[in-house]
Every structure is written in structure tokens, then in C-alpha cells.
A and B are shown apart, each in its own frame.
Chain A
Amino acid sequence: MSALGGKASGGEGINPTGSVVGIIILIVSIAATYALGFSIIPLIGIIIGGALIGFGVHFVPVGGAPAAMGQAPGIATGVAMLAAGAGLAGLFGGAWAYETTGGDFLVAIVGGAVGGGLMMAITSLMVNATYVFAMGIPAASGKVDKDPITGDTFPEYKSQGTEGHGLPFISFFGGVIGGLVAGLGGTLIYIELLNVYSTGLPVIMQADAAAIQPLAVSLAGIFAIGFFLVNAVLAAYNITGTIEGPHDPKFKRVPRAIIGCAVASAFCGFISMLLLFNTGM
């Protein structure tokens, strides 16, 4: 039992019944997409993107309210919101790169990943600068005694009555990796949706493709942000409160989040495709 009221141990593992139901929903969503005459390749891209976002969120060290009092390590804000902030900064970069390179898929998704990673690197650095230079508190993890990367020891640097504080290097590293992965996933979803809308909207609206492009970009952007929040919130539920990064025992819960995010992304992806469904009206 941790001092903050939650169990410090890892998760409860994968629920077989829930997972089977989820996988059925996933398959039905893909089958329904195919049955309505859409290509399933973009949907697969969306599912992978969603799973990447869920995976990435688990790397981000989030301490929530206890971190704001120096009672627990991590960044003092919510899991979903911080990951969304980083991922959306990545999405901004990825969408821009996709436009300027004339549709280079690889450059866009890697650009999105780097944008998310850069946002997290700057934010994590400023968090540590605040703890060290303004509050006089060195970084210490509450979950491990030694930093797996630098080998720094933590128990003697943990102030009395707290679970640790600040961002040890492993948490900084986790934050950057989380930003990279989440930015990559978000940009992947955006590009898949953009391709679908760019080709589908001119047909259904019987208009010139160039005239429809701003609408396609905006719709893909809004849906990508929506996917981001869906997956980030799902991952946050899996984390239940706070996580220190990849060294936290809660990180072992990640397979459950990947299944959940893939299922949610499949269903939401199907809904986003329905926008192009011609009912003949």
C-alpha cells in the first residue's frame, strides 16, 4: 500500500472475457467498414495509431496533484492532458511536414514523433528546473531505488513523508519516448483520415478536389484530436492516477491499454468513415 492510497504493485493482468468482447468489436468494426465498401487499410492505420497513443501515454511520467506538492515524482498535471498536449504538438508538426513535403508519409509521421518528443523534452526540463532551482528539491523516484539508466540512488534523496519528487532521468527519458510515440500515432491517424477524406469528400459532395481540401484537412485534424483524447483518456483509466514512467510497476498494464485503445480506435474509425457513406439521399 502506498502512502497515497493506491497499490504500488502492477496491474491485474488482462481480463480474458473483456479482451474477447473487445476483439469481437474490433473485428466487427473492420468487417462493417469493408461491407460498406470502404478500404480497410486506413482503418488498420487508425487502429495502429490509436494503439501507439495508448502505448505512448504509459511512458509519460505524470504525478498529478501529489506532484504539485512535491509528494510524488512526475509532472504535476493529468495523464491524458499532458499526453494530449505533447501529441497535438506532434500532430501540428506532422501535418505541416505532410503539406510542405507534398505528401511524404515517412517524413510526416517521423516529424510528428519528433514534435511530440521535443515538446516533452522542453516541458520535462522546465519541471526539473522548477524543482531544483526554485524549490531546492533534488529528483528522487518512489518506485525504484536506483535509476535504471544513470544508476543514481534515490532513497536517501527522498524527503521525509513523501513518495519522492521531481523527474529522475528515467522519467525524463520516459516522457520523451512517450511524446515521440504519441506524436507518431496521432500523425498516423491524421494522415490516414486526410487521405480518406481528400478522395471521398469530392465524390460525395460532387465538388472540385482542390476546393474540398481545406474541409478535408480540418475534418481530419478534428477527428485526429478526438482520437487522441479517446485513447489518452482510456490509457489514463488504465494507469489509474499517476505513473512515473517505464520503470513504474504500473507500466506492466500496458498490454491491456493497447487492446482497449485498438478496440476504441477501430470503432471510432468506423464512425469517422461513415461520414463518407452515401445513403443516396
Chain B
Amino acid sequence: MEEIVLGIGITALAGALATVAGAAEDTESDIGSQGDPNSQVQLAPQMGYIHRIFNKAISGEPPAYGAWCVIGAGVAWALMQINYNPALAIILGSLIAIFVQGIYCTSGYLGRTASLAKFQQPVYIDIIKSLTPVTMAHAFVAIFCTVAMCYLMASALHHPFALPLLGLVWGIALGAAGSATGNPFYGKERQYQNQKFGAGVPISASGNIVRYAEAGQRSSLDNGWFTTKFAGPASGICFGLIVFLELWRTVLFESFAGGWGAIIMGVILILVFTFIDRWVEKWGRKTYGPYTKEETSS
């Protein structure tokens, strides 16, 4: 019984860490313009729209976060092997990981922006100076929380994978959840704030991203401020739910029916999310209605 109570506590803590990690990951990727919407940041100067948005799509978010979390987890694991305190080891591991991230950010921005030289897009040194530390800080929160969560899984819940392997698995899952949930909000709602609300961006508008703010030119920091209103928390909820429910169903129900209890609970959860999704879809159709009458389009 005591073990189950401890398991539930660890599950809740891991879920909370995952929620913070998801929110920080998405905010980092929006300030640094890491995900798919960066295609528009790269495209804009080619269409004649010079801007001051950070441009560092080093790779997709899942492999990038897989790499950074495995560096953080690997260094932390190595330090723990020489008897470092786990908290200190995770902090040091995350610090080293964000230095790698910072190097990638800098080279990513310089390389990507320099490739746009023939479209007269300048390389702004002040952008590197002011925004790289901000993305590093957000990445630190995301990596620290993910590695700490993996440490709990390995040490308290006794998952068979070693800490670095858990870091790789959950780093990739973190990037997948964060980019899936957060990208549309940054890509459509923020970059194309000048387009109509409640409709997709027409393909003809591609590249015409918003480049000016209330005063002066828009900075990527403004994008972080905007996306933390929805995309960050939504990504956090997404990743937090994934981690929490995956652990919860295993910790509580694995012992039932020779392991089938956790599977049955997983299937029930999938069905619950399916019904919620269908409700959301129907609510959207009913509330916003069709763009055109049915007979004209068919």
C-alpha cells in the first residue's frame, strides 16, 4: 500500500514537472522560432518582407529536444555515478545541455540568416545577444524538468531504462507534444495576426508575416509574450497529461489481472479522449458554422 501511495505521489510530481516542461518548451520554440512556423520566417525575406524575428530551426523540435534532454540526462547520470547529489547533478547536466543549445541557436541564426543575404535580410547581432539567452533560459526550465521527471521514473518508479535513455525517449516525446500543440497558435495566430480570425491563412499570403509591433519592429520576445497566453500552457497540459496518465495507469493498475489492468485503463482513457475530441469538433462546427453554403461548394 505504501508503495502505491508513494507511486501516486511520484506520478503527480512527474506530471507537474512535465506540465512545466511542456510550457517552457513551447515558449522556447516560439521565441526562437524553432518549429514548422519558422518556414514563414525563412520565406518572408524571399518575398520582400525583411524582419527582425529570430530564425533558428536547427531541426524539428522532437530531435532537438531529444538531443538536449539526453545530454542533460547523460551528464547528470555520469555525475551521479561519482556520487554527486542528484539535484546538483541534474542542474549541472541541464546547464551543459543549454550551452549546447545556445551554440546551436547562434549557429542556426547566423547560418539561416546569412543564407538570405541575397534578399537583403541583415544579420542583427543585437538579436543574437538579446534573444539567445532568453531561449537558453526557457530551454533550461524544459530540460531540467524533463530530466528531473526521468530521474523520478528511474529511481523511484524503477523503470528499467537508464536515465540517459529515458531522457532521449521523453525529450523526443516532449518535442512532439509541444510542436504539435503549440505550432498552429504561433504560426497562424501570431505570425499572421493581420489575417482574418477564424480562418486558415490563404496560401497566397505565405511569407507576409506581421513584422511591426505597437512601437517599432516586432521582436521574437513579443511572440513569446503572446504564445504564453495559450500555446505554452496548452503544450504543458498536453505533455503533462501524457506523462501523468501513462504513469498513473501503470502505477495503479499494473498489478490487476496480471498487467492487463493497465492496458484496460489505457483503452478506457483513449475512448474518453476520443469522445472529448468528437465533442470539441462538433462544438467547433456548430459554434462557428460553415464558411459557405453547402450547395454552392458541392
Interface residues, chain A, with chain B CB atoms under 8 Å away? 3-4, 64-71, 75-78, 81-82, 84-86, 88-89, 91-93, 95-101, 104, 107-108, 110-111, 114-115, 117-119, 121-139, 145, 150, 152-153, 155-169, 172-173, 176, 214, 217-218, 221-222, 225
Contacts and interface: CB of A to CB of B under 8 A. Distances in A.
A88 B201 contact: no
A161 to B, nearest CB: 3
B184 A130 contact: yes
A156 B180 contact: no
Contacts, number: 310
B296 to A, nearest CB: 8
Given A89-B173, A131-B184, A156-B297, A114 B270 contact: yes
A89 B280 CA distance: 25
B67 interface: no
Interface of B: 35-37, 39-40, 60-63, 158-162, 165-166, 168-170, 172-173, 175-177, 179-189, 191-192, 197-206, 230-231, 234-235, 237-238, 241-242, 245-246, 249-250, 254, 258-260, 262-263, 266-267, 269-270, 273-274, 276-278, 280-281, 283-285, 288, 290-294, 296-298
Given A96-B159, A134-B234, 19 more contacts: A65-B37, A65-B187, A68-B186, A71-B201, A75-B180, A77-B183, A78-B60, A107-B263, A111-B259, A122-B273, A126-B180, A126-B235, A127-B181, A128-B280, A138-B281, A156-B291, A158-B297, A161-B202, A169-B277
Nearest to B168: A225
A173 B277 CA distance: 10
A160 B181 contact: no
Contact of B206 (A69, A82, A99, A130): A69
Given A127-B180, A139-B281, A162-B200, A70 B263 contact: no
7 contacts: A77-B61, A89-B246, A96-B160, A111-B262, A126-B181, A127-B184, A131-B184
A156 B168 contact: no
Contacts of B250: 93, 96-97, 100
B58 to A, nearest CB: 13
A252 B202 CA distance: 28
Contacts of A153: 294, 298
A176 B234 contact: no
Nearest to B169: A88
Given A69-B192, A70-B184, A89-B242, A156 B293 contact: yes
A116 B39 CA distance: 28
A69 B187 contact: yes
A140 to B, nearest CB: 9
Given A132-B281, A135-B189, A81 B234 contact: no
A108 B175 CA distance: 25
Contacts of B283: 132
A77 B64 CA distance: 13
Contacts of B280: 125, 128-129, 132-133
B208 to A, nearest CB: 11
The residue among B160, B168, B199, B230 with the most chain A CB atoms within 10 A of its own CB is: B160
Contacts of A93: 246, 250, 262, 266
A150 to B, nearest CB: 7
A91 B169 contact: yes
B63 A225 contact: no
A111 B68 CA distance: 28
B200 A71 contact: yes
Contacts of B183: 67-68, 76-77
A214 B273 contact: no
A85 to B, nearest CB: 3
Contact of B274 (A70, A100, A176): A176
Contacts of A136: 197-198, 288
Given A85-B172, A124-B277, A156 B294 contact: yes
A70 B205 CA distance: 12
B116 to A, nearest CB: 17
Contacts of B278: 150, 169, 172
Given A118-B245, A122-B242, A134 B176 contact: no
Task: Rank and list the top 4 A-B pairs by shortest CB-CB distance, nearest first.
Answer: A85-B176, A161-B202, A70-B200, A68-B187
Contacts of A131: 184, 284
A127 B129 CA distance: 33
A266 B168 CA distance: 24
A114 B262 CA distance: 9
A77 B179 contact: yes
Contact of B35 (A76, A119, A139): A76
A85 B173 contact: yes
A115 to B, nearest CB: 6
A123 B238 contact: yes
A69 B176 contact: no
Contact of B188 (A69, A104, A161): A69
A118 B242 contact: yes
A222 B258 CA distance: 27
